[in-house]
Structure formats: C-alpha cells, structure tokens
Amino acid sequence: MLKLSIMEDAMAATSQPISRSPAGQMPGLSPGLPLPDLYARVSRHVPAIEWPALAPDIEAILRLKREKNAVILAHNYQAPEIFHTVADIVGDSLALAREAVNVDADVIVLAGVHFMAETAKLLNPGKTVLIPDMGAGCSLADSITPEDVRGLRAKYPGVPIVTYVNTSAAVKAESDLCCTSGNAVAVVRSLNAPRVLMIPDEFLAQNVQAEVPEVEILTWAGHCEVHEQFTPADIRDVRESYPGVTVIAHPECPPEVVAESDFSGSTAMMMNFVTEKRPRQVVLVTECSMADNIAAENPDIEFIKPCNLCPHMKRMSLRNIRRALETMTHEVTVDPALADRARAAVERMLAVRAR
Ligand code: SF4
C-alpha cells in the first residue's frame, strides 16, 4: 500500500496557492448564458438553469473587488461557483496563510471560516479583513480555550506546544508555534524535542505520531466534525464497489481510516496527488467540495463518493460575499493584547518551511 502521509519533502510542492484570474479566458461553452466564459468553469456542477440567478452576484463581486481594491481568498472546501469564478487565491490553510502575507490589496475577503480570517488579519494587520458570515466557525477551534492551553503548559512544563491553525487567535497566543495538516510533520521534527504537545486535533496528532515515532506526541480530544464521521468500513465498502479505486484521506480522519487509504495529506497535497498521478477513479475522504473543485479541471478522472459537507464552510455564498463587499462587513479584528504572541506562533510555523 502506498503510504505518503503528510510527507515533509512534499510540503513545499503541495501547499502553494493558486493565483486566479476571475475574468478568465476559457472558451465559452454556453454562449446563450450570461458570463459564458465563467460558466464554462463550473458547468459540471452548476446546472444551466441555476446560472442566471448566480451571474448577477458574480458580476457585482467582480466590480466591487475593483472598486474597493479587494481580493478574495477561498479555501479548497468552497463551492465551485465561489472557487472557480470570484476567488483570486485558493488553497489550503497553509497556502492561504502564506498568501495573506503578500496581499497588497486594501481589503481581504476570506471565503472560509473564522480562524482563517483571524490568521489573515494577524499576518497582515494593516488590511481590512472581512468574513461574509461571522457564524462560520469550526468544531476544532471550539474544542479548546486559552485556559485549557495554560492548564496543559502547567501540567507538562517544558513540553513545546504545537497548535493546529484551526484555533482562535487567543489559543494561538498561548502556543509555541502553529502547524497545518500540510506541515505538521515538519513542524514537529523541527523542534528536536523528545515530547511535543500537539493540540487540539487528536486524529491529526495520532497520524503525525505514526510518521514521527521518535517523538512522543501528547494530544487533546478535539475532532473535526466532518472528518471524524468517516470509518474504515466506508473505505472497504468503496473498494468493494469500485475495485482499483484510489483512496485519499485527509489526516483529520481517524488513524484507522488513514491506514486503509492509499495516500493521506492536506487538501493541497490531495490536489497535487490527483493532478500528478491521475488515477482513473478516486475517492477523496474529506469535504465534498474538494472533489467538485478538482473535477472541474480534470474531466477525465472519476470522483467517487463518500464525502461529507462542512456546515461552517457552506455558510459562504456568492450572495453574502457580495453583501460583505457592499457593506464592508463583517470585519475581523484581533485583540491587540494577544495579537503579537499569536502572530509569532504563526510566523514560527511559516519559518519552518525555509529550514
Ligand atoms: S472541515 Fe472540519 S476542520 Fe475544516 S472548518 Fe469544517 S469543522 Fe473545521
């Protein structure tokens, strides 16, 4: 079984953001529809009958971005009509964090969840950072508080604390450095410590432990509500129904699910694996929009379910992105009293890549 879980040497190649030109030049496939070039990008996932209702919001967003000097950063779990039409930068958490540093527009709209917007603000404090829906949270971020982290530090003095980026800025501020699913192995190795506290994702920590057996990894009982639902039986069922199918699991899945898979990695690593290896049939054991977004550009690859929807990511829509730009809400800020410490934890993570 091919096991390439969250490999350090794959990190640089797989976590790059993708720059987009929303007014793309793909040949129009549906000249009778508005914005035919953009519709061509999403025609496999958006029925033609729905497009006339979406096109006015897309046109308005493209205009508002120019007027307000704004860019849209969209996570890989965003729906195709956001990912492929209005997003300027798309990627996983690591790529979006890196890209946030380089944004020179005045306004960043984060089509993702709240901790991503906070991270963008931390790294680019002079910009106005907007999130279209303040309710876009994350079960991992909600699983741990700053008080919890202080309690862990008191219980395990001297043990470095690596915190997944899927946390609040207040939790990051209590940490030594951050990690993402794309760089967790490299971050743990970079510490050269015999014991590491890796919080709050228990499954990510266990999957990293399998890659770094020389380090004792202590963890926390936080879970992603999307990935914890997958079971080894799901994988066996899909293999029985589709002999030869390639199975790719996100490392937020339980270790037993990752053990049944052919490859495990961040969403950016999944994307790279599919586009480079070009399996005939593949199942992406993660959020549903991942497969839709890759499928749009790889019509020759068959994407098999199962997948699960993230209710937080799905709070983003073209309508509320438009409203965010029209009204300049909801602005995401970070308490200045903790911003420097939280930023330092993220910057230490970003520095690991260069070593
Ligand atoms: S998919 Fe999981 S980790 Fe990602 S935002 Fe949703 S709940 Fe959080």
| Domain extent at residue 107 | 12-136+313-327
Per DSSP, the three-state class of 33 is coil
CA 163–ligand 1 middle distance (angstroms): 15
Residue 179, annotated as binding a ligand: no
CATH code of residue 129? 3.40.50.10800
Asked whether residue 350 is assigned to any structural domain, the reply reads: no
Per DSSP, the three-state class of 105 is coil
Residue 312, annotated as binding a ligand: no
**What is the residue-wise DSSP string for 64-86?**
HHHHHTEEEEEETTS-HHHHTTT
Residues with CB under 6 A from ligand 1: 113, 138-140, 166, 224-226, 252, 287, 310, 312-313
- Report pLDDT for 291: 93
Give me the phi and psi of 346, to 5 degrees please.
-70, -40
**What is the residue-wise DSSP string for 256-310?**
HHHHTSSEE--HHHHHHHHHHH--SEEEEESBHHHHHHHHTT-TTSEEEPP-B--
CA distance 29 to 94: 34
- Report pLDDT for 31: 62
Asked whether residue 185 is assigned to any structural domain, the reply reads: no
- Signed CA dihedral, 317, 321, 322, 328: sign only: positive
Walk along the chain (355 residues) in steps of 10 and give the mean pLDDT of each run. Answer: 31 41 42 91 94 98 98 97 97 88 94 97 95 98 98 98 98 98 96 98 98 98 98 97 98 98 96 96 96 90 92 98 98 97 96 69
Domain count, the chain: 1
Asked whether residue 69 is assigned to any structural domain, the reply reads: yes
Half-sphere exposure of 107 (CA within 13 A, CB side): 23
Asked whether residue 79 is assigned to any structural domain, the reply reads: yes
Asked whether residue 187 is assigned to any structural domain, the reply reads: no
Per DSSP, the three-state class of 90 is strand
Find where tokens 């949270």 sit: 137
What confidence tens digit (pLDDT) does each residue in 228-272 have?
Answer: 999 999 999 999 999 999 999 999 999 999 999 999 999 999 999
CA 311–ligand 1 middle distance (angstroms): 8
- Tokens encoding 113: 């969840």
CA 137–ligand 1 middle distance (angstroms): 8
Asked whether residue 174 is assigned to any structural domain, the reply reads: no
Asked whether residue 345 is assigned to any structural domain, the reply reads: no
Radius of gyration of the chain (CA): 20
Which stretches of the chain are assigned E, i.e. beta strand? Answer: 18-19, 70-75, 89-91, 107-111, 128-130, 161-164, 177-179, 195-199, 216-219, 246-249, 263-264, 281-285, 302-304
- Report pLDDT for 284: 97
Hey, whose CA ends up nearest to atom 5 of ligand 1?
138
Angle at the Cα of 220 from the Cα atoms of 134 and 9, rounded to 5 degrees: 85
- Report pLDDT for 97: 86
Asked whether residue 318 is assigned to any structural domain, the reply reads: yes
CA distance 137 to 167: 10
CA distance 98 to 101: 6
